[in-house]
Amino acid sequence: MHTQTLDNFDDLSVWSPITSGQAQLILTPIAAPASLAMQLAFDFAGGGGFVVARRELALKLPDSYALLLDVRAAAPANAFEFKVIDPSGANVWRYRDDAFDFTTDWRTLRIPSKALTFGWGPAGGGVAHEVGAIEIVIAAGPGGCGELTVANLRLENRTPTQMPLISASSAQSDHAAVCAMDGDAATCWRAAQLPAVLDLDFQDERDYGGVILRWAEPTARQFACAPATTAQLGAVFMSHLALPVIATQSICPTAVRGGCG
């Protein structure tokens, strides 16, 4: 996976403070452990509202990615948002954490692309493909005053580059394991004997939201989906009886190397 630095905060002239109501925000360059950083010193002045650090940034987004940002803070538990605005300025996607950990220790905040949900705009939904600006937002909960420091903003491209390796415990003739994911609805994997295991090796860590199991006929079946990474052996994502339907949709945790068996 390729990681691209978007901002090392060596030039804060590209950032603009925006506030609502009586809120105040000052952007200051300070030193971070391995780089420079931007400190957002804010004061809601006894009221509500929000403070925003905004930057124009032209960027095309890959299909799958994560935004990484080193953060630390000394502030009340207000809400945190990271916004992505398209080049038109009309469509907004955002990550929001109402229980953001404003800890004084440095940590890396990871925002996967699926966590950036559509906020508003004429697009009406979908995902962001191109960026025109980004915003770091603190929205008042308890309000008060404090500081948020951010450093080393980067983009991690997590778009798959390799086809998964597929194997099975057994297979009938003309129904090999690779038929399970060949993109052809007319083909399928069929085990020669039960119990059966289908193994998917993505050859790299990959984000995915779940699996859809399509059965040959609507008959209830017992199945389990488990990770195949060494660190996660013994864990089970799900294990239950599939209802008598043609397709079973189930949610798996993301960012694992192995697939479901």
**Domain residue extents for the chain:** 2-157, 165-258
203 touches 165 (CB < 8 A): yes
Position 261 scores a pLDDT of 46
Average pLDDT over every residue of 175-180: 93
Residue 202 binned pLDDT confidence (cut-offs 50, 70, 90): confident
What would the pLDDT profile of 114-164 be if each residue is shown by its tens digit?
Answer: 999 999 999 999 999 999 999 999 999 888 999 999 999 999 999 888 888
Spatial distance between the Cα atoms of 180 and 188, rounded to a whole number of angstroms: 5
Residue partners of 79: CB distance under 8 A and separation at least 6: 96, 97, 98, 100, 137, 138, 139, 140, 141
Position 118 scores a pLDDT of 98
- Judged against a pLDDT cut of 70, whether residue 247 lies above it is answered with no
Strand partners, 108: 70
What would the pLDDT profile of 68-123 be if each residue is shown by its tens digit?
Answer: 999 999 999 899 999 999 999 999 999 999 989 999 999 999 999 999 999 999 99
Position 256 scores a pLDDT of 47
Residue 258 binned pLDDT confidence (cut-offs 50, 70, 90): very low
CATH of 2-157 among 2.30.30.100, 3.30.1650.10, 2.60.120.430, 3.80.10.10: 2.60.120.430
**Hey, how many other C-beta atoms are within 10 angstroms of the C-beta on 177?**
21
List Cα–Cα distances, 84 to 23, 113, 141, 159, in angstroms: 22, 11, 22, 19
123, two tokens:
């697009």
**3-class SS at 163?**
coil
What would the pLDDT profile of 26-63 be if each residue is shown by its tens digit?
Answer: 999 999 999 999 999 999 998 899 999 999 999 999 99
- Closest by CA to 51, choosing from 153, 152, 146, is 146
**DSSP one-letter code for 246:** S
List Cα–Cα distances, 179 to 21, 152, 187, 188, 189, in angstroms: 60, 43, 6, 5, 5
